[in-house]
Amino acid sequence: MKKRKILHLSYFYKNVENKENKYIYSKILYDSNSFFLDFYMYRHLYYAINLINPRKCKYIIDLGCADGPLLPNVNQYGKFNIGIDLNLDYLEYARNLINYHEFPLLKTALINAEGKKLPIKNESIDTVICLEVFEHVPKVLNLINEIKRILKYDGELIYSLPIEIGFSLLFRDLIGRILSFPRDSYNLRELIRNGILKKPNTQRIYYPQTRIYSHKNFDYRILQNYIKNNFKILKKNFSPLPFLKTLNPHLICKVQKKRPN
């Protein structure tokens, strides 16, 4: 299958006025002057987009779309796409992105909703993309069950999980300190426990104002096992350098909703 190119978002950010720190979330990540950060973020998108099955992309949902960095790329493949997020401020920024005059996303709509009750009909969606979301959700199993509900049988879920344990954490923490990139901080004791022993504290950090968890102490193995028990694993990859496997900061998977026996 032909590899799909990723649309770089600089076309939008270079002409957007930054009032009251608007667009700062995506601009830091997807319009960085750092080659390493640019490579890191866009390889993530590249692997996710190239997991989309062209025969199953009539209706696509970007679940947890934030301010929309994935939407221009999804717009190139789905026949009708929906971005869903809990945060109204993010959706306001995403609306400016999809309405941008140089590249309007005419087949993309936005919905404000919580993951525990998605306003989508049963078995109506071909593909759900959920990048950098599961680790932030308080009742993540409810969200995964909702995804199962709205997916057609044989529909596909493409998701990513951060690897916040093992040498991946140690390496990412070191690079983050060198590049002064804002991320969750770990003290020496936590780095030993999470990075070397791979036994993170079960206590997660929750931010009531945004109703999300931070990455810190997230153990991707627990959630991955739950997904394996409820979906068929089709493909998995590691980003940004797949040959390093779990030394990478992200796991990216494509799974399929199972038909009932």
pLDDT of amino acid 152 = 95
Q: Which residue has the higher pLDDT, 110 or 185?
A: 110
| Percent of the chain whose predicted confidence (pLDDT) is above 70 | 93
**Which of 112, 13, 26 has its CA nearest to residue 68?**
26
- In this model, does residue 159 exceed pLDDT 70? yes
Within a domain: 181 = no
Within a domain: 94 = yes
Task: Residue 228: give the domain boundaries.
Answer: 21-164+218-257
* 3-16: average pLDDT: 80
93 vs 16: CA distance, rounded Å: 11
Within a domain: 191 = no
Q: At what angle do helices 140-150 and 220-230 cross, to 10 degrees?
A: 30
* 230-237: average pLDDT: 95
Within a domain: 182 = no
Residue 122 is classified by DSSP as: T
pLDDT of amino acid 91 = 92
Residue 153 — very low, low, confident or very high, per pLDDT cuts 50/70/90?
very high
| Percent of the chain whose predicted confidence (pLDDT) is above 90 | 59
Residue 17 — very low, low, confident or very high, per pLDDT cuts 50/70/90?
low
pLDDT of amino acid 5 = 79
Within a domain: 199 = no
Within a domain: 27 = yes
**Which of 48, 40, 50 has its CA nearest to residue 65?**
48
pLDDT of amino acid 86 = 92
Q: Residue 226 maps to which CATH number?
A: 3.40.50.150
Work out how many domains the chain is built from and give that number. Answer: 1
- In this model, does residue 22 exceed pLDDT 90? no
By mean pLDDT, which of 7-11, 122-126, 127-131, 135-139 is the weakest?
7-11
Model pLDDT for residues 192-210, shown as the tens digit of each residue? 999 999 999 988 999 888 8
Within a domain: 122 = yes
DSSP count for the chain of H helices, then E strands: 9, 9
Per the DSSP assignment, residues forming a β-bridge with 251 are: 161, 238
Within a domain: 172 = no
Q: Which residue has the higher pLDDT, 172 or 15?
A: 172
Q: What is the pTM of this model?
A: 0.93
